[in-house]
């Protein structure tokens, strides 16, 4: 699904990566651990395509879906933890909303094809279980769903 081939990156005079190579296969989960300033965020930015390495190649499967929770909290601290995590799945929620809106209309062939396309995208992302996905994230990370971000 994702492969780093001999990735190197320097920022200023600090070498963050030198000939780094790894694979992340379907179904695998990873964890990056390191001291502050070691380059963990930069690796995620390379994975997301936000930063280009100085050399090497990043290979991503075309249907790769990556979710992340930013390191810094938002300035709007009145949201609950549940609302904040759910916002990370907003694109999926928009697909589901579009599906429901379209499914409540009389559709011609083009409309039916669009409904089918939406259904396939939602199913591929596990979208029909979006609330379960949110609850799983909260449970696995032992996050208090109803607490306000400002209370953490």
Residues 54 and 88 in one domain: no
**Could you give the residue ranges of the DSSP H alpha helices within the chain?**
40-48, 81-87, 90-103, 109-124, 130-140
The fraction of the chain above a pLDDT of 70, given in percent, is 95
pTM above 0.75, yes or no: no
Give the pLDDT confidence score for residue 119 in this predicted structure. 92
Residues 141 and 87 in one domain: yes
93 found inside a domain: yes
- pLDDT tens readout for residues 9-22: 988 888 888 999 99
Residue 72 included in any domain: no
**Confidence band, pLDDT 50/70/90 cuts, at residue 8:** very high
Q: Are residues 91 and 47 in the same domain?
A: no
Contacts of 9 (CB under 8 A, 6+ apart): 15, 16, 17, 39, 42, 46, 51, 53, 54
Helix/strand/coil for 87: helix
User: pLDDT by residue (tens digit) across 92-130?
Assistant: 888 999 999 999 999 999 999 999 999 998 888 888 888
Give, rounded to a whole angstrom, the gap between the first and last alpha carbons of the chain.
35
Please tell me the predicted confidence (pLDDT) of residue 100. Answer: 93
Rounded Cα distance between 98 and 89, Å, is 14
86 and 147, same structural domain? yes
Q: Examine the domain organization and report whether 85 and 121 are in the same domain.
A: yes
Domain span including residue 50: 2-60
Res 93: pLDDT: 86
My answer on whether 56 and 86 are in the same domain is no
Tell me the sheet residues that pair with 57: 5
Per the structure, how many domains does the chain have?
2
Please check whether residues 85 and 147 belong to one and the same domain. Answer: yes
Same domain, yes or no: 92 and 35: no
Query: Do residue 86 and residue 141 come from a single domain?
Result: yes
In-domain check, residue 73:
no
Q: Is 17 helix (H, G, I), strand (E, B) or coil?
A: strand
pLDDT tens for each residue of 61-82: 888 877 776 666 566 788 899 9
Residue-wise pLDDT tens digits, 20-66: 999 999 888 787 877 777 788 888 889 888 899 999 999 998 888 77
Is the predicted pLDDT of residue 91 greater than 90, yes or no?
Answer: no
- Does residue 3 register a pLDDT over 80? yes
């Amino acid at each position: 699904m994702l492969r780093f081939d001999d990735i190197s990156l320097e920022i200023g005079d600090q070498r963050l990566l030198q000939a780094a190579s790894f694979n992340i296969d379907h179904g695998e989960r990873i964890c990056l651990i390191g001291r502050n300033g070691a380059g963990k965020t930069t690796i995620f930015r390379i994975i997301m395509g936000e930063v280009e390495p100085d050399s090497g190649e990043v290979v991503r499967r075309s249907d790769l879906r990556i979710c992340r929770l930013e390191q810094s909290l938002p300035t709007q601290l009145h949201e609950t933890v549940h609302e904040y995590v759910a916002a990370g799945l907003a694109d999926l929620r928009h697909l589901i909303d579009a599906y429901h809106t379209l499914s409540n209309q009389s559709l011609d062939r083009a409309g039916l094809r669009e409904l089918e396309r939406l259904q396939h995208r939602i199913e591929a992302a596990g979208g029909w279980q979006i609330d379960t996905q949110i609850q799983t994230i909260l449970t696995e990370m032992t996050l208090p769903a109803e607490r306000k971000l400002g209370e953490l």
